[in-house]
Chain A
Amino acid sequence: MLLSDAMEDEEKWLAEGIAGIQHNAFYMHRALDANNLREALKYSAQLLSELRTSRLSPHKYYELYMRAFDELRKLEMFFKEEERHGCSVMDLYELVQHAGNILPRLYLLCTVGSVYIKSKEAPAKDVLKDLVEMCRAVQHPIRGLFLRSYLAQISRDKLPDIGSDYEGDGDTVMDAVEFVLQNFSEMNKLWVRMELQCLYYIHFGDPELRPSFGLSGLQGPARVRDKMEKERNELRDLVGKNLHVLSQIEGIDLDLYKETVLPRVLEQVVNCKDELAQYYLMDCLIQVFPDEYHLQTLETLLGACPQLQPTVDIKTVLSQLMERLSSYAASSPEVLPEFLQVEAFAKLSNAIGKVIETQGDMPIVGSITLYVSLLTFTLRVHPDRLDYVDQVLGLCVKKLANKPKLEDSRATKQVVALLSAPLEKYSDIVTSLTLSNYPRVMDHLDNGTNKIMAMVIIQSIMMNHAYVSSADKVEVLFELIKGLIKDLEGDSDDEFDEEDFNEEQNSVSRVIHVLYNDDPEEMLKIICTVRKHIMAGGPRRLPFTIPPLVFSALKLIRRLQNQDGDAAGEDNPATPRKIFQLLNQMIKCSSLGLEGWAETIEALSYVPSPELALRLYLQCAEAANDCDLEPVAYEFFTQAFVLYEEEIADSKAQVTAIHLIIGTLQRTNVFGVENRDTLTHKATGYSAKLLKKPDQCRAVYACSHLFWVDDQDGIKDGERVLLCLKRALRIANAAQQMASVARGSSGPVTLFVEILNKYLYYFEKGNPQITSAAIQGLIELIKTEMQSDTVTPDQTSDAFFACTLRYIQFQKQKGGAMGEKFDTIKV
């Protein structure tokens, strides 16, 4: 209620003010057209009286001011003409001093003053000095600030700058600087004084001191203060603009800036002891003056920071400074030596340390934000100086030392930003891994953030397709991502999220694939390092982490195998020794590595992933076979069987497993008779013990391939093949009978047709135990079965059988040896 009333009142007052200006402007224009100087002055003074109001907030006052400002431009033009008309500008300067009130008088004086300087009838510096002194008469903050900003604006292009029209005759840049600096400090004082006046108003209720807009006496001190703060904030650019004017003075070279301008501005800033002013003016100073000046005066500029009020937000100021300097460094490589020459990094780092020290109660997030800025600066300006980067991280570690883990989420965010910056900069992760303080910073993160950071690291590796290529680096990397690798102290199960967990572990397994070195010895070390870390991961993680590591090891083994082959083809005398060495290594790696692996995979069998473990055993067995390592391969098969016996209970899983075992065993040629017999015996035994007859049948006829390997020197034991097939037939028969007992009808003939196909296969391959008579017999058997009433007709098996017969027909007609062989079979 009160506020909206107040705002309405303010609108009304503004409207009144505008009306007053328009009214007087009308008469002023008439006077100007009539060339009536006195009338023009009278009405312009009346018009300017509207600016004497105390009722408007800075925003509204500015509107009123702009109206008056525009009118004054017309008057100024008239003054210029007037000069041509005969009345000297010096006379004018005298004349306007008779205007009634101080404020209108001073506006007019400034207006004439600008014409006066332009006319060059008086030295610019004298007029400026006169004006800047006279403006002291207005001590009301808002009125005074606007008046002085008017002075700053109209004198802006009339300063005795080098190369300007107003230089010379003893007028120097120094005079311009003095003038602007004086106006600046007067304005700053007015601005700072608002704060004091506000306090007076609160305590003594003097309406002249009232912060401008619509306050009724009913409002409490806190409200009054808030408003005053808001108003002061609106007014800040009027003060700051002086610094802009200064920066535009060309004559201010580095020396003048260093010797005079900067110290004087800083003196004003430091001494005013006002939080708002100090923060804002430091910001302005940094923004309006060029970067090379800052670089060359870093010490002075930074030296002021600890002298500011403890409440000033120095970290933002410094961040902005560093931001500017880093853009400057990025703008051209030629400026980099400047940074080195002035030791910018050391100075900034020092200053930050001092600020953090003096502002004892700066929250931790503040300090870390400062380090982030410093790090950003370092990465942009000195990307080659990893020691600097590490130093900044070290500062952060120091700050965090002896403190419990970070809980403030904003501070945590900053730490993540700090740690992410080097990853973004150096696309090669390895660079970041050399930063000794990196893991130490990570240690201060809470577990959740630690994991997030670990994911950021992994993503950065994946995104940059970077390889981590030494065991040492891998060690560092796994130390960094340990939050994903094992349970950390304080990890609680309540927060367990399966989806997140899976994603994390998948990331870890992806990263294992990019740990790579061409040198087998180093690669082996890498693998051992990874193994050491992931073994601590516990049952939930192993199913994710073990497979990639096993495959990484197998890849290494295959690599050694191939190298061996290649090198052997060369006649280079140096090579045999090399090969020998490599072989030696290979054997060491395979035996040590693989045997070690058995143990590793064993860990998997404790977790509910026996099927996964079985597959890995078989992969290893195959690799061992390729390396000609019989005992190793045997060991793996044994492990696989143990798993099969003890852990794989589901019947479907058993079927899959037994076929995998048979397939692998079939490809294995490293075994001597004894080992081989043991293993094939087991395989056939388990096959015949599967739960369902059809599964038994299929597994058993698959086992026949264990005795007939279609290689040049593969095993070819026709008898045992036949034994398997006969056994399969018996099982198929039994299955048929069981089906008739159970359902009154036997199953389809599919199993028989499948077995027939196996017969045909071995028949063609020349297994002497498989005769055309046996095949004939089987065909007849199937035909009879199909015709029996009890059989359920089945299209698929009928078609299968028809195809098989067509195939026999086709072979018969082929002629030649094959045709002859098939000749005796009748279909």
Chain B
Amino acid sequence: MASRRRMLLKVIILGDSGVGKTSLMNQYVNRKFSNQYKATIGADFLTKEVQFEDRLFTLQIWDTAGQERFQSLGVAFYRGADCCVLVHDVNVMKSFDSLNNWREEFLIQASPADPENFPFVVLGNKVDVDGGNSRVVSEKKAKAWCASKGNIPYFETSAKEGLNVEAAFECIARNALKNEPEEEIYLPDTIDVANARQQKSSGCEC
């Protein structure tokens, strides 16, 4: 019964604008990268089939707008997430400082049953830029933060060069899979409720 639900793994990518969320998703799903910046509006997802131990899963990857003004409808789509990916740009300190906020905001809004153990993965993106010379967030610093938040797995990625992207998403998928889904136990009391409710609906025919 649970099997159908388990075949779908929902992943949310969060992080400041411009850190490369969309680029990471496109690199992973389509193996494409563009240097152009195109802001994301609202929430958007792509799916990708993944295989683990001869079971097929559909990874539903939600890419979100880092610019707050393009997130007008709220974050109802967080609900039911199996894993949350926090992305920062290793060349921009502020984007790393924001991770805490993104994480907390996610836990509040998605309110998972067991927030302590909810799977996150952190990606330090754009490690390719300027041969690493413009880097300001060290691996050590990022790892220390991850360790302090319950050993969040950490990957250094480059969406541009495809570096570590596959490995990161495999980890993301595996962690999503480990997450116990909180299937809301629903037991109908009477069979007829549904039909009775049908009539209540408002007059319009659409």
Contact = CB atoms under 8 A, between A and B. Distances in A.
A166 to B, nearest CB: 13
Nearest to B201: A52
Contacts of A290: 34, 36-38
A528 B132 CA distance: 54
Nearest to A69: B77
A240 interface: yes
Residue of A27, A53, A54, A240 most packed against chain B (CB within 10 A)? A240
B160 to A, nearest CB: 13
Interface string B156-195: 0000000000000000000000000000101110000110
Interface in A47-63: 49, 52-55, 58-59, 62-63
Classify chain B's interface size.
35 or more
Contacts of B38: 244, 247-248, 287-290
Interface string A309-338: 000000000000000000000000000000
Interface string B21-50: 000000000001010111111101111000
B41 A143 contact: no
A74 B4 CA distance: 7
Contacts of A139: 206
Given A32-B4, A153-B44, A236 B72 contact: yes
A234 B73 contact: yes
A22 B76 CA distance: 16
Contact of A46 (B40, B194, B204): B194
A104 to B, nearest CB: 10
A524 B75 CA distance: 70
Interface residues of A, number: 64
A783 to B, nearest CB: 80
A103 interface: yes
A243 B36 CA distance: 15
A27 B41 contact: no
B51 to A, nearest CB: 16
Contacts of A23: 186, 188, 193-194
A24 interface: yes
Contacts of A25: 186
B110 to A, nearest CB: 11
B58 to A, nearest CB: 7
B41 A140 contact: no
Contacts of B204: 52, 54, 140, 208
B71 interface: yes
Contacts of B184: 22
A243 B39 CA distance: 10
Given A32-B4, A62-B73, A157-B46, A54 B206 contact: no
B8 A73 contact: yes
Given A29-B4, A233-B72, A291-B36, A241 B41 contact: yes
Interface in B123-151: none
A77 B41 contact: no
A479 B200 CA distance: 79
A102 interface: yes
Contacts of A238: 42, 73
Contacts of B47: 157
Residue of B7, B32, B198 most packed against chain A (CB within 10 A)? B198
Contacts of A289: 38
Interface in A277-295: 283-284, 287-292
Interface string A202-229: 0000001000000000000000000000
Contact of A63 (B4, B5, B76, B202): B76
A287 B70 CA distance: 10
Contacts of B7: 77
Given A52-B202, A237-B71, A288-B38, A77 B193 contact: no
Contacts of A43: 194
B194 A24 contact: yes
B205 A240 contact: no
Contacts of B65: 237
A241 B72 contact: no
A407 interface: no
A33 B46 CA distance: 26
A352 B38 CA distance: 25
A244 B186 contact: no
A102 B204 CA distance: 10
Contact of B44 (A20, A156, A284): A156
Given A33-B1, A237-B72, A247-B38, A46 B198 contact: yes
B206 A70 contact: no
Given A20-B197, A26-B188, A101 B206 contact: yes
B73 A244 contact: no
Contact of B39 (A55, A65, A138, A288): A288
A49 B4 contact: no
Contact of B46 (A101, A103, A156): A156
Contacts of B37: 290-291
Nearest to A43: B194
A66 interface: yes
Contact of A49 (B40, B60, B186, B201): B201
B69 to A, nearest CB: 8
Contacts of B69: 283
Contacts of B79: 63, 66-67, 70
Contacts of B40: 244
A245 B70 CA distance: 14
Contacts of B80: 70
A244 B41 contact: yes
Given A62-B74, A66-B79, A102 B42 contact: no
B5 A74 contact: yes
Contacts of B41: 237, 240-241, 243-244, 284, 287-288
A235 interface: yes
A244 B42 contact: yes
B205 to A, nearest CB: 6
A143 B204 CA distance: 12
Nearest to B70: A237
A23 B187 CA distance: 8
A20 to B, nearest CB: 6
B101 interface: no
A180 B1 CA distance: 37
B205 A102 contact: yes
B117 interface: no
Nearest to B74: A59
B20 to A, nearest CB: 14
B100 interface: no
B111 interface: no
B196 to A, nearest CB: 11
Contacts of A234: 72-74
B34 to A, nearest CB: 8
Nearest to B60: A73
Contacts of A103: 206
A241 B206 contact: no
12 contacts: A22-B186, A23-B188, A26-B187, A54-B204, A59-B73, A65-B76, A73-B8, A240-B42, A241-B42, A244-B38, A247-B38, A290-B37
Interface of B: 1, 4-5, 7-8, 32, 34, 36-42, 44-47, 58, 60, 65, 67, 69-74, 76-77, 79-80, 184, 186-188, 193-194, 197-198, 201-206
Interface of A: 16, 20, 22-27, 29, 32-33, 43, 46, 49, 52-55, 58-59, 62-63, 65-67, 70, 73-74, 77-78, 101-103, 137-140, 143, 153, 156-157, 208, 233-238, 240-241, 243-245, 247-248, 250, 283-284, 287-292
Lowest 6 CB-CB distances: which A-B pairs, in order? A290-B36, A287-B39, A237-B42, A102-B206, A244-B41, A240-B41
